[in-house]
Amino acid sequence: MRAVVQRVTGAEVAVAGEVIGRCGPGLMILVCAMAGDDEGKPAKLAAKVAKLRIFADEAGKMNLSVRDIGGAALVISQFTLAADTRTGNRPGFSSAAPPAEGERLYEAFAAALRAEGVPVETGRFGADMAVSLTNDGPVTIWLEV
């Protein structure tokens, strides 16, 4: 699984003009299940995200996790993280998990992150979504497990 994790002061996702998920201070996470990902990947990625120390402590150092600050997460499915751009000008996405598997692993990631003690809201798998956020820092981290 791949993820782009952004530290945010707030984020929201809308489908057809209706906001379906939002978070305040915390993380906006774009997630992609890759072909061949097994059942253990969502929990492994969720544990990594929950413990990722990218929030400032009282000394201004990045020493705190989203759990430490009492933050939340907005989790969005993003199959384009599987883009292969090595040749040509049109990205290929054949390394992404098939849709049914991708949805199952995406939902498993959101559930595993909740089990790690992080409040989670989500987008809608496969939908055309409008995502807005205020990146704090900016801090953006690429993860792959």
The DSSP bridge pattern shows strands 120-122 and 72-77 to be parallel
Please report the domains of the chain, with CATH numbers, ordered by start residue: 2-144 (3.50.80.10)
Residue 68 is predicted with a pLDDT of 98
pLDDT in 10s for each residue of the chain, 145 residues: 999 999 999 999 999 999 999 999 999 999 999 999 999 999 999 999 999 999 999 999 999 999 999 999 999 999 999 999 999 999 999 999 999 999 999 999 999 999 999 999 999 999 999 999 999 999 999 999 9
Any idea which residues carry the catalytic annotation?
78-80
Residue 90 is predicted with a pLDDT of 95
List Cα–Cα distances, 72 to 14, 22, 113, in angstroms: 18, 9, 10
SS3 content of the chain, % helix, strand, coil (to 5): 20, 40, 35
Residue 112 is predicted with a pLDDT of 98
Residue 12 is predicted with a pLDDT of 98
Residue 109 to residue 138: CA distance in whole angstroms: 24
Assess contact for 143 and 20: CB atoms under 8 A. Answer: no
